[in-house]
């Protein structure tokens, strides 16, 4: 493990003169932090409190954590999550895992920053449905938050929704997972994976499956958009909603595979409840669809090969991350 030092280069009237050190796993790039929302320890702690606080929703009943559970990789076990007044979402809640490096957010990529993604969830009628002025007023009256916002931003800060969003984004940026048995193996512990998992890893990276052509890099995602042939017709057009291009109908962002063992159900709509179903979908080659990725073809995997792939995917589980006390509700 190495530390990334994020220096806060602002004056005291803008930001506290604080330096925050946070561990970044070996082989990971530097932590991505926007210049207008520098990272410090007080802001991380504030963000954690806000992440678990239901007063950020219109009815005081929904927090970020209602749809993002740490033990499930900060995802939800429901096919779609339930927001205020029992409103159901339209897509499965993805895990918050190494989100600092996503580059683009939501299944359709409509958010270009983590802050924008959090604002979208907070104000969505299907999620928290927050009125930002009302939330600002609630926060400003809270003496604990008065103190925490002042420590996180500057002494004159009055708690408000915009700064709350920045604090939550800061907390989400340090939800870093990089100590699975796979990571331990690639970092030199040759006993971290068993023979079946090694076979699965080789198959994952092979020309036969080409899994790693989309699920690549340190975070097992190309951060691009693909149609997997889940349907012959997509009622949810996915990326098309953002670009308006017919070629983007049915395309959704490639999710990370880290902690995939605990983030079921899978796919943007929670279509599959098990990894066996996911592997069988790829093995079948999917359904006919005009925008289906050309790499989705029948694989003709044996039962042993399917089991090997799943074993490898489970080696990406990071129990340290899933149980890290630093992330638990205050």
Q: Which of 177, 204, 198 is nearest to 186 (CA)?
A: 198
**Average of per-residue pLDDT across 176-202:** 97
Q: Is the pLDDT of residue 309 over 50?
A: yes
- Transcribe 232-287 into DSSP letters: SS-SS-BTHHHH--GGGTTBEEPPP-TTGGGS-SBTTTT-BSSHHHHHHHHHHT--
Q: Average the pLDDT over 65-91 and give the result.
A: 93
Just give the CATH number of 181-320.
Answer: 1.10.760.10
Mean pLDDT calculated for residue range 10-35 = 66
- Give pLDDT tens digits for 100-117: 999 899 999 999 999 999
Average pLDDT over residues 237-262: 98
Strands 2-7 and 252-253: unpaired
State both tokens at 20: 């925050």
| pLDDT higher than 90, residue 175 | yes
Q: Rounded to the nearest 5°, which phi and psi values hold at 7?
A: -85, 130
**Domain map (residue ranges) of the chain:** 2-176, 181-320
CATH topology of domain 2-176: Cytochrome Bc1 Complex; Chain D, domain 2 (1.10.760)
pLDDT higher than threshold 80 for residue 139: yes
Whole-model pTM?
0.91
pLDDT tens, residue by residue, 209-226: 999 999 999 999 999 999
- Predicted confidence band at 20 (pLDDT cuts at 50, 70, 90)? low
Residue 144 in contact with residue 8, Cβ under 8 Å?
no
String of DSSP letters for 281-319 = HHHHT----TTB-TT-------HHHHHHHHHHHHTT--H
Tens-digit pLDDT profile for residues 155-173: 778 999 999 999 999 999 9
Nearest to 234 by CA among 90, 94, 50: 90
């Amino acid at each position: 493990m190495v530390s990334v030092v994020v220096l806060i280069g602002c004056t005291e009237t803008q930001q506290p003169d604080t330096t925050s050190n946070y561990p970044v796993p070996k082989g990971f790039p530097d932590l991505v932090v926007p210049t207008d929302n520098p990272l410090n320890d007080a802001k991380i702690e504030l963000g954690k409190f806000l992440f678990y606080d239901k007063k950020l929703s219109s009815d005081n009943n929904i927090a970020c954590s209602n749809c993002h559970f740490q033990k499930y990789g900060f995802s939800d076990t429901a096919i779609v999550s339930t927001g205020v007044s029992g409103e159901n979402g339209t897509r499965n809640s993805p895990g918050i895992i190494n989100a600092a490096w996503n580059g683009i957010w939501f299944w359709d990529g409509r958010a270009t920053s983590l802050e924008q993604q959090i604002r979208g969830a907070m104000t969505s009628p299907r999620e928290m449905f927050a009125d930002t002025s009302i939330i600002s007023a609630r926060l400003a009256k809270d003496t604990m938050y008065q103190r925490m916002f002042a420590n996180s931003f500057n002494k004159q800060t009055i708690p408000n929704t915009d700064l709350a969003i920045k604090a939550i984004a800061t907390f989400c940026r340090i939800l870093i997972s990089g100590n699975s048995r796979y990571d331990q193996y690639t970092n030199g512990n040759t006993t971290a994976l068993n023979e079946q998992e090694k076979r699965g890893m080789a198959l994952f990276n092979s020309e036969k499956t080409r899994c790693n052509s989309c699920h690549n890099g340190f975070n097992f995602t190309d951060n691009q958009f693909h149609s997997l042939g889940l349907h012959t017709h997509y009622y949810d057009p996915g990326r098309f909603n953002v670009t308006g291009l017919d070629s983007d109908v049915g395309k959704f962002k490639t999710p990370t595979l880290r902690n995939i063992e605990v983030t079921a159900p899978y796919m943007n709509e929670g279509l599959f409840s098990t990894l066996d179903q996911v592997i069988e979908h790829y093995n079948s080659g999917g359904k006919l669809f005009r925008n289906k990725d050309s790499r989705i073809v029948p694989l003709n995997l044996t039962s042993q090969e399917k089991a090997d792939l799943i074993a490898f995917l489970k080696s990406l589980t990071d129990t340290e991350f899933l149980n890290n006390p630093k992330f638990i509700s205050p």
